[in-house]
Structure 1
């Protein structure tokens, strides 16, 4: 899809960076906060804006509710109902899908009738392509809801693991913070050149995705009979591929259970070989949004590490639970953000900052860069 290609993402790096900086500026400091809802809201704003630009505020509430409907549908149940049974969760998902489509339809018609298609992802879908020609309205309405939710659904799970690793490995977080100093004072002025210069940050993101791939189980269907090791797989068979275990294969990754972002900076490193890194899938069914996801996660990581030192709440128990339904996620993850360079950067005590969330625009470390 043209709007998700690396070149298209590179052209809009500044918009993605601006959203990441806003998220960093709004993070409540010196108090334990649940991370995933914050991250999901921030990435939803970035992702929906990437697809719809000025129409994003209209569609963001519908995208959020559709995400929640999909999440409800994926929750474990004691019963496995046939797909034809209209369970309450399936009816709820259908209602949200219809609501999203009904909100999107007048936007598509307005853009087409005015001739102002826009230069966002929707605008590119409204233009004829050499391969498919002019897409019908229904084709666009059938395609975009799923793509919209996908822009922030899996990246939100990945961001939870990334921020947790920033808390676990303060030296790595410090290296990311130092590297982020190359970013311009005005986040909107960030370019793909700035993004490409964040080599260690990208390596850290990929290393976390290697150890904790959000899509930890992939489903594929064999198109022809083939031999896999000592097993014969018939054409039409369903094959389950587990990136989690593949990424910890010592034949492909030295010290596979060790967090070592530097492995991605080695020219001879095995992670870059085709078919070895599966966090975004591989082959013709690989994730089309890989470039967008990497840009979002890299800039989010850089902005957070630049502004804050993260830590887990003290105690013998982890501040999260690992779940695998729908994706590998750190549900309930709580972290504390202390302004980087502060005398109290090392976590001590459990004092709470009065007033809770800062106002949009805020007074946090990133506020000056957003004014």
Structure 2
């Protein structure tokens, strides 16, 4: 609970409940209002959390003194139904061990070897879209299916395209359940057969059957010469005990990568296509640059990516306006002092990308789509903790380079063949679960270029 000595501004909110009802309903409008009215450090009553969006303070929390700001066990327990006890939720030595094992699969050299997988998956999506020209499609759903297939093939050498919709639907159920646990004042225990609990148990059972099926198939066939992430995990041995990862540990890591490995990129891509459709001059620059690089319409290669700057800037700008995660949770181990503020030890903290990325002091005209913000000239001098789509510090998202690589390839190759247009006046309905998304997706008219 905040003390009066902190001098940190706070809204009143509802009696006893504070701002908890608004957080449960949709935190994005609430965060925008709080940071506009109270500044870059705000206490949120009812959820007993400090909202932080001041870059230098964020740097202290995520980098300079990161050992004093840990993942909250209480918060991570509430998130674990959606993402398991893997890289996203672990702390301390278990996290360091898992990160060391995963790093080789996400190196630039490893991701470069995924070129053929990405090209093939995108080419197959193009064939499917050719047959649907003239239709209105859910671009968010289309991108989820495409990025899920890519991540499963790259990291697990597994193709479950026939079950993609089933996986995505059940991952969404787990996300909603975790958000319910996170912001509800008194969520009912899982064993009580409420509708939410039954939906969660069914979704978890379906995903577990898929994941344990992947693990069982690999154990049966052996790793052989596979160099994917699953092979690395299954061959890893604990230096102290000499034991490998259990099926349950493997399940948690695969759940992490199922969700984080496709959902954030898919939403970023959907928002990119939406924003480009609203800004024809930006779309024209993407087209002109790509056509100059690819000539007669050939596939994108790794060597082309450094020349497709405007496609990359457009994706980065979409992630600024619609950051994949709206906030990162930490718990302070010691008292934190910043200017006139004091945040007590043991406090819950939200490092808030939603507010950072839309702060007019950091980003002039922040609501406007300007991919040029990410050119070298305009990026110079910008505080490096003003833009955190994939986090920062030691816990920066391990898949950031993979996400950016596949996004550039997808944007270039799909816009090479198609146009995506939204209806005049259409705006997606934003919601924040574990990730920022549009509900029920972003609807756009598909046509051939």
Please give the TM-score of this superposition, normalised by the length of structure 2: 0.66
Segment of structure 1 superposing worse, 124-133 or 88-97: 124-133
Task: Rate the CA distance shift 1:98–1:266 in 2: closer, same or farther, 3 A.
Answer: same
Answering whether residue 372 of structure 2 is matched by residue 262 of structure 1, we say yes
Aligned position for 1:307? 417
Match in the other structure for 1:323:
431
Give distance in 2, aligned partners of 1:298 and 1:129: 36
Q: Compute the displacement of 1:114 (Å).
A: 4.2
Partner of 1:122: 230
> Counterparts of 1:256 and 1:79 in 2: how far apart (Å)?
32
Distance 1:129 1:148, change over 3 A: same
Match status 1:68 vs 2:177: no
The answer for unaligned runs of 5 or more in structure 1 is 341-371
Contact 1:207 1:264 in 2 (8 A): yes
Deviation string, structure 1 residues 26-85 (Cα, Å, up to 9, x no partner)? 332233333222222222222222232245458746633431322442677996543634
Is 2:325 aligned against 1:212? no
The match for 1:170 among 280, 290, 298 is: 280
Q: Distance in 1 between matches of 2:393 and 2:333?
A: 13
The answer to whether the 8 A contact 1:63-1:149 is kept is no
Contact 2:372 2:378 in 1 (8 A): no
Gaps of 5+ in 2: 1-101
Q: TM-score, normalised by structure 1?
A: 0.78
From 196, 202, 206, the equivalent of 1:89 is 196
- Distance in 2 (CA, whole Å) between partners of 1:38 and 1:337 is 12
**Following the alignment from structure 1 to structure 2, what is the Cα–Cα distance between the partners of residues 33 and 57?**
18
RMSD: 3.1
Secondary structure of the structure 2 residue equivalent to 1:249: coil
* 1:323 aligned counterpart, secondary structure: strand
Provide the aligned length of Structure 1 versus Structure 2.
336
- Secondary structure at the aligned position of 2:376 is classed as coil
Question: Which is further off, 231-240 or 323-332?
Answer: 323-332
Partner residue in 1 for 2:73: none
* Structure with bigger RCO (C-alpha 8 Å, 6+ apart): 1
Match for residue 222 of structure 1? Answer: 332
The question of whether the paired residues in 1 share the 8 Å contact of 2:320 and 2:389 is answered with yes
Task: Give the Å deviation of 1:273.
Answer: 4.5
- Map of 2:388 onto structure 1: 278
Distance change in 2, residues 1:174/1:104 (3 Å):
same
Contact 2:310 2:371 in 1 (8 A): yes
Give 2:253's match in structure 1, choosing from 127, 135, 143.
143
